[in-house]
Amino acid sequence: MDLAPAPNGESSLKNPVVEVEAVDMASAEVEESLATENTVAIEAEGSQSEYETDSDDSDWDDQSLFEDALQVIRDDQLRDGVVPGACTLDEAIAFRNRLHEIGKAAFVEETIARDTVTAKKLCTAFGIMPPGFLEGAPDQAYHPLLAIAISREFSRRPKLPQYNSIDDAVKLLQQSKNIVVLTGAGISTSLGIPDFRSKDTGLYSQLEHLGLSDPQEVFDIHVFREDPSVFFSIAKDILPTENKYSPTHGFIRLLQDKGKLLTNYTQNIDNIEANAGVVSEKIVQCHGSFATATCVKCQHKVQGDDIFGDIKKGVVPQCLSCQERIAQDALKPQGMKRKRSTNGTHRGRKSDGEDSSEDEDYEIPTPGVMKPDITFFGEDLPDEFGRRLLHHDRDLVDLVIVIGTSLKVAPVAEVPGILPRQVPQIYISRTPVSHTSFDIDLLGDCDVVVSELCRRAGWEFKHEMIPPDEKVDITAVEGYESRHMFKVVGA
């Protein structure tokens, strides 16, 4: 799926939901695209709207497109000098700090324009390994790549150096009063609901039988409109079957009960937050949910439970309201029936004197499909998402906790960069992310991490999935002062 940056003056928060994809850096088409689009990014600053901050969020999509395709250089590799021709770690840190201090245009003028450092070497300061296909090329050939590196670094929220340890994370929990929690599929996997991107167990890895060119097309609104059976063939696999919730959902409820939860922005469509007792006033379901469904023809809305039976059978649920209207229409005399268009609306009757063959023209109408009120790729996010984030939470938030998401779907993935940079941020998931900087990374099973944090905070936190005598081993990740690994002892 192609992504496009938001035009100047428009918020990317208003864009349809999109999946961030990698592309082939070696292709000539990409090189040409980079040369035309990204050179501009390093030469001038764009204008900002109220939806954009100094993090330059409008560039996020372009940067993230290449996130998986680029070969990344880690800071420990720069520190150990294992990459020939690369910056030292001290040089890299100095370049990064300078970029944030003076901005992109001035930084390019100070470095590339004055020939104080080559573009090839400068790429390494921002964690990008110069690709082999550019080896031997003139330094100007590295400019498009450097444009991506600079934009990505400039949009990256700088880590707050005063927050690093587990104790720091616990104190932040104890002291904060307005916590924004951003959650993804990882907080529901312990309930048997698959995430989407895990290599062997994720939902996308199991969809080859559908014959899609890209597995994420199962959530594409255009594919749904053409053939809703594609979505409903897998919908039962992501539908919550029991009224349960995970310890991580319980943790969010605990924050609410302690008066600390400002908002839970959830990308999940399973509506399990409601099972945990998180009130609707505290939740923004960024991608909608299965809680309700709407007919694509007549817009009749029902509770999600009403169509769960069909979904569990893999059947396309049809609108009962449409069926009732069709049944009533069938009782009318044939000449009183009106021809229906393919979208279910009545066509106009023919005027008097026109040759009419109502009996022949009449088409048997079909009921509309009940579409769960989830946000498909290509559909806009609910207005409440941007409105609450920008005009309420951004002024109040004092701690951000991101749990169980790889931050690969825009525009929700932009949330950490949109919130004020001085607000501390904690990341909890099995694996770290590289395109966003958090102050503290707590890696491991989400349920284990949050329960251990509660124990250390002195909070009573009970859940049937967390053994009362559970002991957790926490180790620092080598080369990272603020990255910690959680593992249950004996597991």
Q: Which of 238-242, 283-287, 304-308, 404-408 has the weakest average pLDDT?
A: 238-242
Q: Which residues are catalytic?
A: 287
Q: Which of 261-265, 268-272, 377-381 has the weakest average pLDDT?
A: 377-381
Helix (H, G, I), strand (E, B) or coil at 123: helix
Average pLDDT, the chain: 79
Averaged pLDDT for residues 81-108? 92
Contact status, residue 234 vs residue 218, Cβ threshold 8 Å: yes
Contact status, residue 224 vs residue 371, Cβ threshold 8 Å: yes
Tell me whether residue 286 is annotated as binding: no
Task: Kindly report the three-state secondary structure assignment for every residue of 184-246.
Answer: CHHHCHHHCCCCCCCCCCCHHHHCHHHCCCCHHHHHEHHHHHHCCHHHHHHHCCCCCCCCCCC
Q: Tens digits of per-residue pLDDT, 400-449?
A: 999 999 888 777 888 888 899 999 999 999 999 877 889 999 999 999 99
pLDDT at 358 over 60: no
Tell me whether residue 123 is annotated as binding: no
Q: Which of these, 473, 461, 487, lies nearest to 248 by C-alpha position?
A: 461
Tell me whether residue 298 is annotated as binding: yes
Separation of alpha carbons 250 and 262, rounded Å? 16
Torsions phi, psi of 432, nearest 5?
Answer: -75, 165
Separation of alpha carbons 382 and 379, rounded Å? 9
DSSP 3-43: --PPPTTS-GGGSBPEE-----TTSHHHHHHHHHHHHHHHH
Contact status, residue 179 vs residue 257, Cβ threshold 8 Å: no
Contact status, residue 181 vs residue 263, Cβ threshold 8 Å: yes
Q: Tens digits of per-residue pLDDT, 162-217?
A: 999 999 999 999 999 999 999 998 999 898 876 665 555 556 555 655 556 566 77
